[in-house]
Amino acid sequence: DAKTTQPPSMDCAEGRAANLPCNHSTISGNEYVYWYRQIHSQGPQYIIHGLKNNETNEMASLIITEDRKSSTLILPHATLRDTAVYYCIVRVGYGNKLVFGAGTILRVKS
């Protein structure tokens, strides 16, 4: 599975959009980009995934660059409850292995 690089931490004002970047320059054509988050004292929670098109669901939007070497997770109106560690993962389609990196600590501040 391709390796990902994320900034260790970011701050965001409450009510503003939080944009979390991820680099995955060695991604293969059949690898998907997944995002999970982990709120303190809980297990990780799935947010969104995509292959090459931009995706949106009730939690977030995922923007993948045309060359697929990077992506951005967007939380459109961040709240204090969005404070968490956000993990960007790439893996083959429905392959079994799910490998996490160190993630980005997002702090939403009032």
Per CB under 8 A, residues contacting other proteins are 32, 34, 36, 41-46, 49, 85, 87, 94, 96-103
For other proteins, give the closer residue by CB, 13 or 102.
102
Closest distance to other proteins from the beta carbon of 38 (Å): 8
Q: How far is CA 67 from the centre of its chain?
A: 17
- Helices then strands, counting H and E runs in the chain, come out as 0, 9
For other proteins, give the closer residue by CB, 36 or 78.
36
Bridge partners of 37?
Answer: 45, 86
**Contact between residue 74 and residue 11 where contact means Cβ atoms under 8 Å apart:** no
Q: Tell me how far apart the alpha carbons of residues 14 and 29 are, in angstroms, rounded to a whole number.
A: 36
For other proteins, give the closer residue by CB, 16 or 52.
52
Q: Tell me how far apart the alpha carbons of residues 10 and 101 are, in angstroms, rounded to a whole number.
A: 16
Closest distance to other proteins from the beta carbon of 13 (Å): 26
For other proteins, give the closer residue by CB, 41 or 53.
41
Closest distance to other proteins from the beta carbon of 110 (Å): 26
